Amino acid sequence: MALISKIRKNSWLMVIMVALGLGGFILMSGTKNQGFLSSDRTIMAEVADKKIDINEFNNLEQTVYGNSSGDPYARRNALWNYYMEKILLEKEAEAIGIGVGKDELLDLPFGTNLSPVISRNLQDPNTGQVDRNRLLQFKTAIENNTLEASIRPFWAYQEKDIVRERLKEKMINMISKGLYIPTWQAEMIANEQNSKVDFVYARIPFDVVPTDDVALSDADYKDYLKGHASEFVQKEQVRRLEYVIFDVLPSAADSQAILQQMVDLSESFSRTEDDSLFIQNNFGTIDGAYYKKSELASTIADTVFKVLPETVIGPYLELDSYRSVKVLDRKVLPDSVRSRHILIRADMTNQQEVQQAALTLDSLRVLIKSGVQTFEELATQFGQDGTAAKGGDLGYAAPSQMVKPFNDLIFFQAKPDSLYIIGTQFGVHLVEVTGKQFITNEEGVRLGYISQQIIPSEGTERQIEQDAILLATENNTLEDLHKALAGRTDLSFEISGPLPRSGYSIPVLGSGQSVRNIVRWAFGNDPSYGAPEVGDICKDVFAIQQPDKFYTDKFVIAGLKSIQKPGKPNMEAVKNDIEPAVLNKKKAEMIIAQLGSPSSVQDAASKYGVAVDTARGAAFSNGLIPEIGNEPKVVAMAFKLDLNSTSSPIEGSSGVFVIMPVLKPAVPSAPNLQLTRRTTATTLRSQVQGRLVTFLKEKEGVEDMRAKFY
């Protein structure tokens, strides 16, 4: 019997084989103990009474992601969610008596009802569909026990991910199908959806009151929190940072030095006889394409068509770089090209497939050149796309109508009566150009570029770092730092949002190891510093380097702004978060006091020079005003008021409103309750997927200790 069938029928054998073969680093389903080699010192989390060992976690990260160049913290967070979901779903599945049967375990990875995990991991990038040939290769290798050793750990993880995904799908379906909308609720929802009102309004935006004219007190913040505290409840402790960013920017001297380097390099560029080698050695760009004037940057578009080939233009400034361009060739371009091809499909990431396809096409080329068979005959016999029936004829194509390698070949490189072999995303092609049309006779140029980005020198970087270090050393608290920077206009303070203990990303700073180090410092998880108190600043300066840059582009002095314990917030913890809303509330009070009791909408509008507008068909169910947005208080008041009655000023979300209802159409007496039930149930069911795991986390409990390890 095939190996995969044996494994499916003997789950105990699978567990033993995987445990022995992979060193026990895959999290085993249904296992109470996370491994006899584990100890509390290596436990990174406990989910529903099951412990997750950091060594198992790290090994699985290596299996799944290998040497991936992506953000390691984003990868670990995704893997953490997998672990957590898997444990929670398996425990709940066992409690309610559902599972994944043997037939499903065969069908989900290879059958007609493919798991979303397979659809995601084995998708053909060219078609967007599952690569069935590749999937069949995996199935055959598993059945014959010939699956490559390097792939086995990943496939073992993928199988467990398939089970996790299937259990989740079953639970979501169970919950979704259990949702029911009773008649009374359907009637209420239908009435709310069908209740409409038209009203005229004047909206006085908050910014008519200058912010400098508003003084906020602690009482204002506390008053706002009384009605909005639930919006800022935290399930775990969070901390906010206040920090100063020292951007590392090139100086004028740095720019001048790079310009001189480019001047010297451009002189060598003009003298070289091997343009391709020179451009390659200096990290420039060269393209086989010819570009028309309209396709080039305005900086060089005119000049490159006036100078002789081999002329170098530049250096010139483009964005944040100095560039020089060399005119390699210039010629009249065809407006369209007719071609034909024989396509043999191949996975371009599989070198063996590509080589085999190229060898086959080279043999066909020999047959055509020797006259043994015609292009049309061989295209019909060997072509693997829709043109095979037409002898490979692609007809006339305009520039850029084909994928770039094919386009560049037929428009700029191919000569009549010649056969070329080229690879594209679709496979390997044997190509012949059979016709060219010249109508506009417009010229194109082929260009080669060299460039150097204007970046700060090491000296500039060190000077900025020393400036930051000096400030961090001389000041102990955020208050001290504010005083020290009071006279500097080149620096400003930023305040982060609420950061959890395992956080790894901060707006403006991005994510990565340095940002993670800041969060670890803020929570006292870095033994090098100890636990900071609110108001403290870190004595070390953090260096930030963005993934697309090769130098430190920011230095950061970080301070601990606030600590918010689990539950409802205290005013100090969220003061900065709620300040814009508190400010608007205060402005609304001032506007309302100035408006008094307006006699009409026009009266209110004229006091502030705003327009009078009409909201038509505003629904009670959603509170939206066209062109304005969500204003539930305003819409509710429109339904409450009598027709043609002017309201008192209303504090809305985007300003203060004065309104007058002008039309309230009768609500249909016989709403379509079946449609209402169906659409309401669909909306509710769509929310189940996002809430299921959150509910299970709260029900079973999760102790997250990842911050101890990374």
Does 340 have pLDDT greater than 70? yes
Do 43 and 165 fall into the same domain? yes
**Tell me, what CATH number does 411's domain have?**
3.10.50.40
Are the CB atoms for 454 and 251 separated by under 8 Å?
no
Rounded Cα distance, 532 and 519, in Å: 11
pLDDT for 689 equals 85
Does 30 have pLDDT greater than 60? no
The answer as to whether 271 is a domain residue is yes
- Number of domain units in the chain: 5
The answer as to whether 680 is a domain residue is no
Do 54 and 65 fall into the same domain? yes
The answer as to whether 388 is a domain residue is yes
Do 287 and 350 fall into the same domain? no
In this prediction, what percent of the chain has a pLDDT beyond 70?
Answer: 94
- Domain carrying residue 309: 252-332
pLDDT for 133 equals 81
Q: Which of 548, 567, 586 is the last residue of a domain?
A: 567
The DSSP annotation for 384-453 comes to -STTGGGTTEEEEE-TTSS-HHHHHIIIII--TT--EEEEETTEEEEEEEEEEE-SS--EEEEEEEEEEE
Phi first, then psi: give them for residue 583, nearest 5 degrees. -65, -45
pLDDT for 217 equals 94
The DSSP annotation for 480-544 comes to HHHHHTTT-SS--EEE---EETT--EETTTEESHHHHHHHHHHHT--TTT----TTBB-SSPEEE
Do 499 and 583 fall into the same domain? no
Do 41 and 171 fall into the same domain? yes
Residue-wise pLDDT for 614-628, tens only, equals: 999 999 888 999 889
Do 169 and 310 fall into the same domain? no
Are the CB atoms for 286 and 275 separated by under 8 Å?
yes
Do 104 and 64 fall into the same domain? yes
Do 203 and 344 fall into the same domain? no
Do 151 and 37 fall into the same domain? yes
Do 349 and 328 fall into the same domain? no
* Token pair 């002329």 in the structure block, residue: 311
pLDDT for 473 equals 95
The answer as to whether 186 is a domain residue is no
Does 20 have pLDDT greater than 80? no
HSE toward the beta carbon, residue 177, CA cutoff 13 A: 6
Are the CB atoms for 613 and 200 separated by under 8 Å?
yes
In this prediction, what percent of the chain has a pLDDT beyond 90?
Answer: 72
pLDDT for 416 equals 83
What pLDDT band is residue 371 in, cutting at 50, 70 and 90? very high
Phi first, then psi: give them for residue 306, nearest 5 degrees. -105, -25
Q: Measured between alpha carbons, how far is residue 612 from residues 199, 201, 510, 647, 657 in Å? A: 10, 6, 44, 14, 10
**Tell me, what CATH number does 607's domain have?**
3.10.50
- Residue type at position 114: L
The answer as to whether 183 is a domain residue is no
The answer as to whether 160 is a domain residue is yes
The answer as to whether 86 is a domain residue is yes
- Residue type at position 449: Y
Q: List the structure tokens of 45.
A: 């989390």
The answer as to whether 231 is a domain residue is no
pTM of this structure: 0.75
Q: Average pLDDT for residues 414-425, to the nearest whole number? A: 92
User: Could you tell me the maximum CA-CA distance found in the chain, to the nearest angstrom?
Assistant: 97
Q: Which of 302, 332, 362 is the last residue of a domain?
A: 332
**Range with lowest mean pLDDT among 14-18, 300-304, 404-408, 447-451:** 14-18
Does 430 have pLDDT greater than 60? yes
Q: Which of 567, 600, 630 is the last residue of a domain?
A: 567
Residue-wise pLDDT for 562-615, tens only, equals: 999 999 988 888 998 999 999 999 999 999 999 999 999 999 999 999 999 999
Angle at 34 between CA 32 and CA 37, to 5 degrees: 135
The helix (run of H) or strand (run of E) holding residue 278 is helix 275-281
**What one-character DSSP code corresponds to residue 348?**
T
Do 14 and 138 fall into the same domain? yes
Do 143 and 78 fall into the same domain? yes
